[in-house]
Amino acid sequence: MKIIERAKAPTPKLFRILRNIGLTLAAVGGAIVTAPVSLPALVTSFGGYLAVAGGVLSGVSQVTVQEKNKREDETL
């Protein structure tokens, strides 16, 4: 299965929830990194890690597909 087909295929409910959580984490991390006020280095680096973790979580969750069992395919 190609990556484009995987991205377009139905995603299980758990991974849709995880994808949304990942997108939220990435948005929060991006907001922390690009904050207009001066933040401590620890907070800024944490925001960067948060953005990366959210991006990876949402990316992996998006390409997880729900496949049918072989027995279901044979009966159809």
Is 71 among the domain residues? no
Look at residue 60 and tell me if it is in a domain: yes
Is 25 domain-assigned? yes
Name the residue range of residue 60's domain.
3-66
Please, what's the largest Cα pairwise distance for the chain?
62
Residue 56: half-sphere exposure toward Cβ, Cα within 13 Å: 6
Is residue 29, in this structure, part of any structural domain at all? yes
Structure tokens given for 47: 């925001």
Q: Tell me how far apart the alpha carbons of residues 71 and 57 are, in angstroms, rounded to a whole number.
A: 31
pLDDT one-digit tens code per residue, 1-47:
788 888 788 889 999 999 999 999 999 999 999 988 888 999 999 99
Q: How many domains does the chain have?
A: 1
For residue 71, what pLDDT band results from cuts at 50, 70 and 90? Answer: low
